[in-house]
Amino acid sequence: MLITGGGGFLGSHLVERVRGEGLEPFVARRRDYDLTSAADVERLFEAAQPELVIHLAAEVGGIGANRDNPGRYWYSNLMMGAHVLEQSRVAGVRKLVLLGTICSYPKFAPVPFREEDLWNGYPEETNAPYGVAKKALLVGAQGYREQYQLDSIFLLPVNLYGPHDNFDLVTSHVIPALIRKMVEAHERGEPEIVLWGDGSPTREFLYVEDCAEGIWLAAQRYDGGEPVNLGTGEEISIRELAELTAELTGYDGEIVWDTTKPNGQPRRRLDVSRAEQLFGFRASTALRAGLERTIDWYRSHQPAGTAAK
């Protein structure tokens, strides 16, 4: 078994989940293999000799990072996925699991997002290059299934969060950014923090261990060509999320909304019925409980001196 991106946020949790089954996956890390290079991917497959491939490797960030790196994110995600898909064909792997993204959905897709609505419009502009690159891999997976009988499945997870997340304020997603800002502001006694947008957009969040479980179930039980959402089916506004994070971190200062910054997609919530029907996946971690665990993890791993800056 090969897991690309196995040293990353989601990948580290999936590796632990797989080890719980008594299996030891081959973990492809960026420092060892550049997946945008066809030669490196060929070398990887020669070393791993996999029957099952789970492709998690990606370049992604929050709104700011997506806005700053549209070309890079389009290119790297497209090329990594295309090379993994082609080498899976060449190597004759038994099964390939590809991860897409909720960012592939149209900006104004009907809520909840259903898999059949994936092509009914263009993605939200700030993350469209990333979303389009990932969606192209769905087309490739379906094409390879039809022409080469490669059993490749495509999963669409919502925004993930949890221990080992990226807490860099330049490239992180909303939950780790909120946690870091509020923990540090609380420790420094700062009277306010500034957040992007107006707080009105809604998002759905999936605890990373739940996502790892969904991927593992799909790898074992699902062999279809249609994409499948992975999420909780529940949404929360960014404003409500900020208030909940403030409560859990003990931050009691003012939250200032910078409305000159983009909001991103207006609403995000998935129809998650297909995952339950096809391979029995249902998220089990409530947002509050997941946030508490993530905050505890961040505090115990917080770099020394960050609160004193």
Task: Write out the residue limits of the CATH 3.90.25.10 domain(s) in the chain.
Answer: 174-200+235-266+285-308
**Do residues 215 and 239 lie in contact, with contact meaning Cβ atoms separated by under 8 Å?**
no
pTM of the model: 0.92
CATH 3.40.50.720 residue window(s) in the chain = 2-162+204-230
Count Cβ atoms within 10 A of the Cβ of residue 224 and give its class: 0-12 exposed, 13-18 middle, 19 or more buried: middle
At residue 307, the pLDDT reads 47
| pLDDT for the residue 308 | 39
Catalytic residue chosen out of the listed positions 33, 73, 130, 298: 130
Which tokens hold the place of 38? 């066809």
pLDDT in tens, 262-271: 888 788 899 9
Q: Which of the following CATH numbers is that of domain 2-162+204-230: 3.30.70.20, 3.60.9.10, 3.40.309.10, 3.40.50.720?
A: 3.40.50.720
Rounded to 5 degrees, what are φ and ψ at 193?
A: -130, 155
Question: What was the pLDDT predicted at 220?
Answer: 97
Q: What is the DSSP string of 55-91?
A: E-------HHHHHH-HHHHHHHHHHHHHHHHHHHHHH
* Whether the bond into 157 is cis, omega within 30 of 0: no
What is the DSSP code string of 148-211? H---EEEEEE-EEESTT----TTT--HHHHHHHHHHHHHHHT-SEEEEES-S--EE-EEEHHHH
Position 241 scores a pLDDT of 97
Task: Compute, in degrees rounded to 10, the torsion defined by CA atoms 84, 90, 95, 101.
Answer: 20
Q: Which residue has the tokens 């995952």?
A: 275
Residue 122 is a catalytic residue: no
pLDDT of residue 262: 81
What are the helix and strand counts (H, E) for the chain? 10, 12
Q: Which residues of the chain have pLDDT under 70?
A: 304-309
For 174-200+235-266+285-308, which CATH class? alpha beta
* 162 burial level (CB within 10 Å; 0-12, 13-18, 19+): buried
